[in-house]
Chains A and B, each alone.
Chain A
Amino acid sequence: DVKVTQSSRYLVKRTGEKVFLECVQDMDHENMFWYRQDPGLGLRLIYFSYDVKMKEKGDIPEGYSVSREKKERFSLILESASTNQTSMYLCATSRGYYEQYFGPGTRLTVT
């Protein structure tokens, strides 16, 4: 079975803090994705990566950056957290263009 793990299920941070969300997969998938999920807005793509050290902006990249130094790990970075970044963050992976496997999510609260 594909396993996608996210570093925390719940996280509380203060405005202005630098926040790291980590995602690790164990299936050697080349593609990795970061989404945020908000009520009534569905899943919105922040960034994705098709290879190590490669990144592509999604629909809402502002305020975020990513890092992919190793194939199995994809990190989402909030350089200076703001209250409007309070959300559920979901990581996903895929081999090729089809099925994506999601992690359980990190619920981030910025106060």
Chain B
Amino acid sequence: GENVEQHPSTLSVQEGDSAVIKCTYSDSASNYFPWYKQELGKGPQLIIDIRSNVGEKKDQRIAVTLNKTAKHFSLHITETQPEDSAVYFCAASRVQAGTALIFGKGTTLSVSS
């Protein structure tokens, strides 16, 4: 079955620096790759996603890149702020009936001011 590896497990940056989180997946048929942010005491929330027909997607300070050949995708956060501190999860899935998202183990991002 699908397996998603996520690195690093923890990441500490200074405010204003960039942060990069990387994920690899095993199922070459996967074609949907979302990223979720989980703040303390809350459930995860979708922040950006990418489908396999594009290589990059950007939304203000966050961007996701996808390399289907290498089966890896990355989250990039620029100009980090203290409110970016949270746990981030990547996930992958085939978009078809009977399948579900497979999540990575998460990255705890700490942004210090």
Q: What residues of chain A have their CB less than 8 Å away from a CB belonging to chain B?
A: 4, 33, 35, 40-45, 48, 50, 56, 58-59, 90, 92, 97-100, 102-105
Residue among B6, B49, B100, B104 with max Cβ neighbours from chain A (10 Å): B100
| Smallest Cβ-Cβ distance to B91: which chain A residue | A43
Name the distance in Å between B112's Cβ and chain A's nearest Cβ.
22
> A50–B34 contact, CB under 8 A?
no
Contact B89 A42 (CB under 8 A): yes
Cβ contact within 8 Å between B44 and A97 = no
* B76 on the A face (CB < 8 A): no
Q: Tell me which of B6, B46, B105 contacts A100 (CB under 8 A).
A: B46
Which residue of A40, A58, A105 contacts B100 across the interface (Cβ within 8 Å)?
A58
Q: Per-position contact with A for B1-41: 1 when CB-CB < 8 Å, else 0?
A: 10000100100000000000000000000001010100001
Task: Please give, as numbers and ranges, the residues of chain A lying within 8 Å of B93 by CB-CB distance.
Answer: 97
Number of interface residues, chain B, beta carbon within 8 A: 27
Chain B neighbourhood of A98, CB < 8 A:
32, 34, 49, 95
B residues neighboring A (CB under 8 Å): 1, 6, 9, 32, 34, 36, 41-46, 49, 89, 93, 95-106
Q: Tell me the minimal C-beta distance from B21 to chain A in angstroms.
A: 13
Does A97 lie within 8 Å of B95, measured CB to CB?
Answer: yes
Q: Are B43 and A102 in contact (CB under 8 A)?
A: yes
Interface of A is mostly: strand
A-B CB contact pairs (8 Å), 10 listed: A40-B9, A41-B105, A43-B89, A43-B106, A45-B100, A45-B102, A58-B100, A92-B43, A97-B32, A98-B34
**Complex CA–CA separation, A74 to B83 (angstroms):** 32
Q: Besides A99-B46, A99-B49, 9 other CB < 8 A contacts?
A: A41-B105, A42-B89, A42-B103, A43-B106, A48-B100, A97-B93, A97-B95, A98-B95, A102-B44
Q: Cα distance A59–B2 when bound, in Å? A: 11
Distance, CA A100 to CA B103, complexed state (A): 12
A102 cross-chain contacts in B, Cβ below 8 A: 36, 43-45
